[in-house]
Amino acid sequence: MSHPAKDEQMQEQLLQLATTVQQYPPLTQARKLALTKLINTIVCSGKLCHPQSGQFPASLYEEIYNEALQELLLYICQNIHKYDATRASVITWVNFLLERRFFPEAIPKILNRQGITQLPDQDILASPEETLSLTEIVREFIVSDPDNVFKKKHIENCPQANFQTLALRRLSGKSWKEISAEFEIKLQTVSGFYYRCVTEFAPRLKKYCGSDIN
């Protein structure tokens, strides 16, 4: 069960540790100590994702995951300067790298090491850009809803059909027809409400994400 207060405290701790590390010159003892504390906090946070869980036998998955995690932590130690606190939380940055880069890269390494010649679906081996996609950044901002405005803004007499929920449905690829059926609200009503909200929240979204959504 998630505890918002504890999650927020952990996020703040990771942010403080990451920015502290960035302030120290490379190769200094202070930076090494701060990095060690950051890495330990990340590993013990309980927030690391487990990509493609269930797609491999348990023992094989564990080896792939451990390889990916080792490479991820090494990357963080060498590239913590690339973390941008204005773009995403530490754990979002870390999980993006784990899921979209280091886990896919670890799969062929471990399969080759074990002499397994039949690779999984090649789609999961693709390595995207290291930077967070705009969709991921927008999604995180809407989910976090720091000022609690996205959840409060809802269709009259239907609090469950709020802007946060509708935006996340749209970001997940849901069509207006599907959303209309889910909430049992006319398509024109739900889509009209959504686009009015987008217009209203556009400055807020642009300030945080550098763009808006549609």
Distance (Å) of CA 6 to CA 3, 9, 154, 180, 201: 5, 5, 27, 35, 28
The DSSP secondary structure of 160-204, one letter per residue, reads EEEHHHHHHHHHTT--HHHHHHHHT--HHHHHHHHHHHHHHHHHH
What pLDDT score does 208 carry?
Answer: 67
114: CB partners within 8 A, 6+ apart? 60, 63
For residue 99, what are its two tokens? 């899921």
pTM: predicted TM-score of the whole model, two decimal places: 0.57
pLDDT (tens digit, 9 = 90+) per residue, 103-130? 989 988 888 877 765 544 434 443 444 4
Mean pLDDT, consecutive 10-residue segments, the chain of 214 residues? Answer: 69 93 92 94 92 83 92 93 88 91 89 67 42 68 85 92 91 84 90 86 72 48
Report pLDDT for 55. Answer: 79
